[in-house]
A and B are shown apart, each in its own frame.
Chain A
Amino acid sequence: SQQGEEDPQALSIQEGENATMNCSYKTSINNLQWYRQNSGRGLVHLILIRSNEREKHSGRLRVTLDTSKKSSSLLITASRAADTASYFCATDAATGGFKTIFGAGTRLFVKA
């Protein structure tokens, strides 16, 4: 089963535009992470936000976390064609074991 659900499932934008992806989850968490996956490759870690943090930045990435709504968003600013990939949120539950659970992902396509 997958804890997180990303929204939208797919997103197509022009180069230079911003891309926003959302993630909702079900149980209390210790932290939430975002990963990127290029087609046919492994996942690459982008950013981790802890449950007591509300916002975090890394380069062109901005992540927010709202634990009261059990949701997070990933904003990619000034997108580039090279940002084309699938993006997944992943959560480490506060209880119930050591799993890091991934959502179904958002497929982002950035048109040059």
Chain B
Amino acid sequence: GAGVSQSPRYKVAKRGQDVALRCDPISGHVSLFWYQQALGQGPEFLTYFQNEAQLDKSGLPSDRFFAERPEGSVSTLKIQRTQQEDSAVYLCASSRRETGELFFGEGSRLTVL
């Protein structure tokens, strides 16, 4: 596709469930970022990939959060044993280079009950 695609757009999980959020970046984009955005706040950095290498995961809030990009294209953000505080919009962005303009997906809105 022409843009960054994220799925699902909406996810409701019961506390304790595992969830997986998918990001399809723009073809050929080297860099991929995951952000968490709480209501009324700016995006908070979670993790960064350059091709398949996860070069920065300093923003992941706990070891319940795990991200992968095994073939340097599609990425999955997995949250284990979800908690209510995990409720947020998870944004994926890709970029042609290491820095510069980011192209964002529409986000996956996670609600943990």
Hey, which bits of chain A sit against chain B, CB under 8 A? 1-2, 4, 30-31, 33, 35, 41-45, 48, 88, 90, 92, 97-105
Question: What number of residue pairs across chains A and B have CB atoms under 8 A from each other?
Answer: 67
- Cα distance, A21 to B43, chains bound together (Å): 18
Tell me if A's interface is mostly helix, strand, loop or mixed. Answer: strand
Q: How far is the CB of A88 from chain B (nearest CB, A)?
A: 5
CB proximity to A under 8 Å, residues B93-107:
93, 98-107
The answer to whether A43 touches B104 (Cβ under 8 A) is yes
- Cα distance, A98 to B98, chains bound together (Å): 7
Q: Which residues of B have CB within 8 Å of A43? A: 43, 91, 93, 102, 104
The answer to whether B35 touches A33 (Cβ under 8 A) is no
Q: Which residues of A have CB within 8 Å of B100? A: 31, 48, 92
- Cα distance, A48 to B102, chains bound together (Å): 10
Q: How many residues on B have C-beta within 8 angstroms of the other chain's C-beta atoms?
A: 27
The answer to whether B48 touches A98 (Cβ under 8 A) is yes
* 3 tightest A-B CB contacts, nearest first: A42-B104, A102-B42, A92-B99
Given A41-B106, A45-B103, are A103 and B42 neighbors across the interface (CB < 8 Å)?
yes
Given A42-B107, A44-B104, A98-B56, are A88 and B42 neighbors across the interface (CB < 8 Å)?
yes
What are some 27 contacts across the A-B interface (CB < 8 A)?
Answer: A1-B44, A31-B99, A33-B101, A41-B106, A42-B105, A43-B43, A43-B91, A43-B93, A43-B102, A43-B104, A45-B101, A88-B43, A92-B100, A97-B55, A98-B31, A98-B48, A98-B50, A98-B98, A98-B99, A99-B45, A99-B48, A100-B33, A100-B99, A100-B102, A102-B45, A103-B42, A104-B42
